[in-house]
Amino acid sequence: MNKKNLISITDFSKEEYLRIMELSQKFEDNPNQSLLKGKVIATLFFEPSTRTRLSFETAINRLGGKIIGFSDSNSSSVSKGETLHDTIKMVSNYADLIIMRHPLEGSARYAAEVSDVPVINAGDGANQHPSQTLLDMYSIMKTQGRLNDINLFLVGDLKYGRTVHSLLMAMSQFKNPIFNFVAPPELAMPDEYKLYLSNKGIRYFEHLEFNNIINQADIIYMTRVQKERFIDPVEYEKVKNVYILKNEMLENTKPNVKILHPLPRINEIHTNVDGNPKAYYFTQAKNGVYTRMAIISHLLNLL
């Protein structure tokens, strides 16, 4: 069986990344399609995530498909104790594709094994959320015109942040990236990722705070530094204002630089950045719809 899934970002090859970029652009140019006409897509949200669900459901609607599913497990048979195995077995008999979010890690990989139809992982606990990475890449591609030679600043929680890890893995497939990690020691980029970059001969630099070096950035990818991540609350108090991006910090940055953020933002990007043309996070979220249209079309071979 030649069923394709998207569970982890590394499931896709570089060629597939580029294919998704190309399709995303195509759908952005022509968002209303009928490629999914006559098809049923299941969106199974075993935990609520309104933002992600609406983005996927908009993508399905724009492609002309029909949706079945649930938005949290309380309204589904799961609350009656049905196993994931049985839910997926049942739904894969009804739908042409399953999009799922689940609090347990590895649940999407398991569902893909059980299901007869393709599965898209819309988040499995703290593990993977590959459509986010693809929309991040599309945002980079769109604003920089390329995925090669990008100087990428990753800021904030680089230890637990799954989005930054996936983005690092994906962007490492392209030529000459430079990674700059800006994080407190408690939330530094884990060694396994640094080792991965070293083994591939990719340059990276670590910084404890923003400094003049952000003037070299093409992309500044912000994430939130959460209090819960610190064992010692004093350490959090010390660094909580260090990783906040303010408009004045962007003064001497490159004209092409764009600020990305997976959203929701709390306070890590000051609202005075929002009006700056370098702020891109809201457009980035909008790009997610086109990228998700692209992922669905790719997995179902619609084009």
Annotated catalytic residue 52: yes
Annotated catalytic residue 53: no
Residues 121-140 that bind other proteins (CB under 8 A): 124-128
For 291, half-sphere exposure in the C-beta direction (CA atoms, 13 angstrom radius) is: 28
> Interacting stretch for other proteins, rule CB under 8 A, among 35-43, 67-75, 101-109, 220-228?
101-109
Structure tokens at 275: 């009006």
> Do the beta carbons of residue 178 and residue 206 sit within 8 Å?
no
H or E stretch including 98? strand 97-102
DSSP assignment string, 125-154:
TTS--HHHHHHHHHHHHHHHS-SSS-EEEE
Minimum Å gap between C-beta 68 and other proteins is 23
Q: Which of 53, 62, 101, 224 is catalytic?
A: 101
Among 110, 160, 196, 236, binds other proteins (CB under 8 A): 110
Q: Cβ closer to other proteins: 98 or 214? A: 98
Q: How far is CA 54 from its chain centroid? A: 15
Q: Which of 129, 165, 224, 258 is catalytic?
A: 129
Residues 226-245 that bind other proteins (CB under 8 A): none
Binding flag, residue 106, other proteins (CB under 8 A): yes
What number of chain residues touch other proteins (CB under 8 A)?
17
Residues linked to residue 226 through DSSP beta bridges, in sequence order: none
Binding flag, residue 104, other proteins (CB under 8 A): yes
Question: Tokens 């303010």 identify what position?
Answer: 246
Q: Cβ closer to other proteins: 8 or 115? A: 8
Residue 45 phi/psi, 5° resolution?
Answer: -105, 95
Annotated catalytic residue 62: no
Q: Of the candidates 262, 188, 187, which has an alpha carbon nearest to the alpha carbon of residue 230?
A: 187
Minimum Å gap between C-beta 127 and other proteins is 6
Residues with catalytic annotation? 51-52, 80, 101, 129
| Contact positions vs other proteins (CB under 8 A) | 8, 83-85, 102-107, 109-110, 124-128
